[in-house]
């Protein structure tokens, strides 16, 4: 089942790339594997998936320890500041950075031997009060204050928009994120990553410029 789901999603990625004049190798598919077993991740890996996203540190530690070193691990959960150190030690990417304080903790804890920690700023694109993420007006100051953190590489933006049913509405919000991304680069940043799109809206995200899509149930089925 995982293998046929992956096949279908890769076909979708290809189709949506064609529709929008993009190349499939511009897009990295991340398997959002929270609450999925080590066996399921192994099965996905054997079907060609190499990037995996985890939300809970303890759960992730066990998986990372027990799976092939070829896997690339993305932290996509909210970051409690006391867990930042361990996150910086074991992950390759962190998508959910939304404060200078956490960025500094990650930077200080990143082992030199592991090279840069790749980081995305999480943007609270729908201005939801309960949600994590920086507000748009806070981005410039964040970028300014994290510029000299030598163990982090700020790669771009991550968003989790609130659910929208219609493709047109999904495209509209992702298009807004893309424009923010382009404006940031016009201002002198060198971002190359837009992490947006999940099982229900990755097609729209790809059409609007996503470079990483995070798909959970679409690959693994319902979470246990």
Ligand X SMILES: *Cc1c(COP(=O)(O)O)cnc(C)c1O
**Residue 149 touches ligand X, criterion: CB under 6 A:** no
**Residue 215 touches ligand X, criterion: CB under 6 A:** yes
Plot region of 35 (φ>0 → left; ψ -120 to 50 → alpha; else → beta):
left
Q: How far apart are CA 174 and CA 104, in angstroms?
A: 29
The contact pattern for ligand X, residues 169-198, with x = CB under 6 A and - = no contact, is -----------------------------x
Give the residue with the Cβ less far from ligand X, 55 or 169. Answer: 55
**Residue 34 touches ligand X, criterion: CB under 6 A:** yes
**Residue 164 touches ligand X, criterion: CB under 6 A:** no
The closest of 168, 191, 51 to 121, measured between CA atoms, is: 191
Give the residue with the Cβ less far from ligand X, 84 or 159. Answer: 159
The site that binds ligand X (CB under 6 A) totals a number of residues, namely 13
**Residue 199 touches ligand X, criterion: CB under 6 A:** yes
The position carrying tokens 């971002």 is 191
The closest of 156, 146, 145, 202 to 181, measured between CA atoms, is: 156
Contact set for ligand X, span 70-129 (CB under 6 A): 76
Rg of the chain taking only CA atoms, in angstroms: 17
Would you say 40 and 17 are in contact if contact means Cβ atoms under 8 Å apart?
no
**Residue 32 touches ligand X, criterion: CB under 6 A:** yes
Out of 55, 145, 169, 189, the residue judged to bind ligand X by CB under 6 A:
55
Give the residue with the Cβ less far from ligand X, 36 or 107. Answer: 36
**Residue 218 touches ligand X, criterion: CB under 6 A:** yes
Stretch that binds ligand X, among 3-11, 112-120, 182-190, 210-218 (CB under 6 A): 210-218
Instruction: Using DSSP, state whether 103 is helix, strand or coil.
Output: helix
Q: How far apart are CA 108 and CA 118, in angstroms?
A: 14
Instruction: Using DSSP, state whether 76 is helix, strand or coil.
Output: coil
What residue ranges bind ligand X (CB under 6 A)?
32, 34, 55, 76, 160, 198-200, 214-218
């Amino acid at each position: 089942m995982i293998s046929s789901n992956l096949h279908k999603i890769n076909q979708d990625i290809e189709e949506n790339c064609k529709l929008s004049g993009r190349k499939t190798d511009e897009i990295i598919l991340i398997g959002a594997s929270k609450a999925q077993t080590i066996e399921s991740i192994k099965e996905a890996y054997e079907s060609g998936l190499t990037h995996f996203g985890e939300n809970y540190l303890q759960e992730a530690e066990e998986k990372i320890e027990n799976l092939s070193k070829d896997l690339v691990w993305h932290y996509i959960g909210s970051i409690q500041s006391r867990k930042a150190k361990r996150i910086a030690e074991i992950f390759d990417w962190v998508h959910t950075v939304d404060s200078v304080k956490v960025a500094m903790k990650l930077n200080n804890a990143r082992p030199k031997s592991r090279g840069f920690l790749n980081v995305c700023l999480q943007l609270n694109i729908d201005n939801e009060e309960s949600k994590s993420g920086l507000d748009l007006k806070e981005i410039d100051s964040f970028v300014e204050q994290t510029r000299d953190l030598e163990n982090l590489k700020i790669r771009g933006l991550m968003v989790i928009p609130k659910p929208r049913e219609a493709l047109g509405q999904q495209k509209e919000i992702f298009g807004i994120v893309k424009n923010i991304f382009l404006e940031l680069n016009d201002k002198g940043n060198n971002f190359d990553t837009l992490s947006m799109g999940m099982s229900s809206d990755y097609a729209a995200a790809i059409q609007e410029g996503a470079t990483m899509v995070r798909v959970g149930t679409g690959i693994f089925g319902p979470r246990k």
